[in-house]
Amino acid sequence: MFKIVIPDSKTWKNLMNAISTLIEEASFDVTPEGMKLRAMDPSHVAMVDFEYPKTAFQEYECPEPTKLCVNIGDMLKLLKRVEAGESLELSLDKAAGRLSMKISGKYTRRFSLPLLQPSTTEIPTPKISFDARVKLDADSLSDAIADIATVSEQVKFEANPEKLTLSGVGETGNVTIDFEKDSSSVIEFQVQQESKALYGISFLEDMIKAGKASSKISTIEFSTDKPVKIDFELPLQGKLTYYLAPRIE
């Protein structure tokens, strides 16, 4: 049995949107310490890693570890009309095999979702060392990716001790965007050695669009021809991280 209360249901909706960019069914691990999810997209090209400690919730009751698997698309349909400031209570109806949702604002709404069979496959945390780490304003990163998407289906990341460059080439032209280390959009800049890698832009667009709805700061980490890691800082020590495999030129 468990019960959690999120003070602003729109915050939860944004997080579920971020997860839904990669997966349709979400299997949450709910423990006395907090809630987390780690899942890969069906093609195993991208991964999402989400974690919220119990301190991030207005109320949190979970006496024993529980696995919750639900269809994220169905949950988002029920959350479609929530407004900022409405609280959301999630609880488990074990006898009925359903997740109960209570939204409280001007009036009270109650919904429930059927629980699905959770996957027994454990996905380990990727153990990758990165040579480049740049913390950016999330809106600036989103704008850069959107600019490149106008001409290309992939984006090249290049980093040297002075700047991070994102670029794309297509039949209609090319786009190059530089983030110098002293740029107003750059919060932290660490490049141990020059790095470059190529990534599919459709995944990046979805990840960054969804992530920036929950966070104003994003951190990019990558090395030559290795996966890119994109972190979004969530309120109250929450974590939303994406990994995306590189394309080979």
Per-residue model confidence (pLDDT) at position 156: 97
Query: Does this model's pTM top 0.75?
Result: yes
Nearest alpha-carbon partner for 39 in 11, 64, 16: 16
Could you tell me which residues are beta bridge partners of residue 30?
35, 66
> Could you name the CATH architecture of 3-114?
Box (3.70)
Q: Which of 5-9, 14-18, 125-129, 210-214 has the lowest mean pLDDT?
A: 210-214
Per-residue model confidence (pLDDT) at position 237: 75
Where in the chain are all domains bearing CATH 3.70.10.10? 3-114
Per-residue model confidence (pLDDT) at position 95: 84
Could you tell me which residues are beta bridge partners of residue 98?
93, 114
Nearest 10 degrees: CA dihedral of 102, 31, 84, 82?
A: -40
pLDDT tens track for 111-134: 999 999 877 677 888 889 999 999
Q: Please state, for a pLDDT cut of 70, what percent of the chain lies above it.
A: 99
Q: Is a pLDDT exceeding 80 seen at residue 177?
A: yes
Q: Is a pLDDT exceeding 70 seen at residue 185?
A: yes
Would you identify the CATH topology of the domain 132-244?
Answer: DNA Polymerase III; Chain A, domain 2 (3.10.150)
Where in the chain are all domains bearing CATH 3.10.150.10? 132-244
Q: Is a pLDDT exceeding 90 seen at residue 192?
A: yes
